[in-house]
A = this chain, B = another copy of it.
Amino acid sequence: MSLVVVGSVAYDGVETPHGRVDRMLGGAATYIALAASYFTQTRIVAVVGDDFADEDTGLLASRGIDLEGLERVPGKTFFWAGKYTEDMNDRVTLATDLNVFADFQPKLPESYRAARYLLLGNIQPALQRSVRVQMNHLRLAGGDTMNFWIQDYREELLATIREWDFLLINDSEARMLSGHQNLRRAASTILDMGPHTLVIKRGEHGAILFRRDSHFIVPGYLLDDVFDPTGAGDSFAGGFIGYLAEHGFSLEGDHISRGMLSRAVIYGSVMGSFCCERFGVERFRTLTRAEIDARFEEFRQFTSF
């Protein structure tokens, strides 16, 4: 079933211990949509400038992604640049040029409104909310946020996530949002804020899915080389929601859906791991569904006992 993805489409400059790329396709919506496209019909809502290359539109289109909602306006595309530390666990932002993204007002094409699944990438909470209220046929809606919105837009953010089914954030954000250091307590507090499902991403250490009555933990995939972690969290989100959309996940039938949510976390982890194998979105140029399913089986093997 069809999925709408809202967020940034950008150009990134990235430096890691493996090398440096001055300008390449990036942005949260890009990674989410590319990852989700292996599972379900994906429609993107974003804005780019008139410098956005046909080659990049072409990559998205080649994955069958609906670009009707990709608005093109005069000016430059959002640009972000960052540099990773030696162990890849930290990064320093070198540039954030919002450009056309500064005035981004998500416009939902008529053809998108009947979609059943919605993934709101990390943008201003009020904008995330403005999309959510325009969609009346949703089976599952949720998204991501970040420390900036948690600290400076708290009330707006709380009003936004109250209407979400799931929230996908990393561990430090979960601690900041909840005020608890302990992840079990943090999760319990966040599940009182509205979402029935919380996924805490832990980078190389995997992810945890929390629901009111249970949790599921997956360790991170051990890569031989992490080339570039940029987009891994968004690729996780795309794999997670993509798998649920592929299987028509619905909240009815809670017993079945818990297993499905766990498998969605595994597919999220699979997509995040592939993302790190090359710079930027490179890995998605060659990645196949067969490789994805094989890695899913690898997860089963190295976690079963």
Contact = CB atoms under 8 A, between A and B. Distances in A.
A103 interface: no
Chain A's interface size range is: 20 to 34
A219 B219 contact: yes
Contact of A217 (B86, B214, B302): B302
14 contacts: A182-B224, A182-B225, A182-B226, A183-B222, A184-B222, A185-B224, A205-B219, A208-B222, A215-B302, A217-B302, A218-B305, A259-B305, A300-B305, A303-B303
A84 to B, nearest CB: 12
A266 interface: yes
A205 B208 contact: no
B266 A305 contact: yes
A94 B152 CA distance: 40
B87 A181 contact: yes
Copies of this protein in the complex: 2
Interface of A: 86-87, 181-185, 202, 205-206, 208, 214-219, 222-226, 259, 262-263, 265-266, 299-305
Contacts of A215: 222, 302
A263 to B, nearest CB: 5
A224 B181 CA distance: 11
Contacts of A266: 305
A302 B217 CA distance: 6
Contacts of A206: 219
Q: Which of A214, A216, A266, A299 has the most CB of B within 10 A?
A: A216
A123 B302 CA distance: 32
A305 B225 contact: no
A259 B86 CA distance: 35
Contacts of A217: 219, 222, 302-303
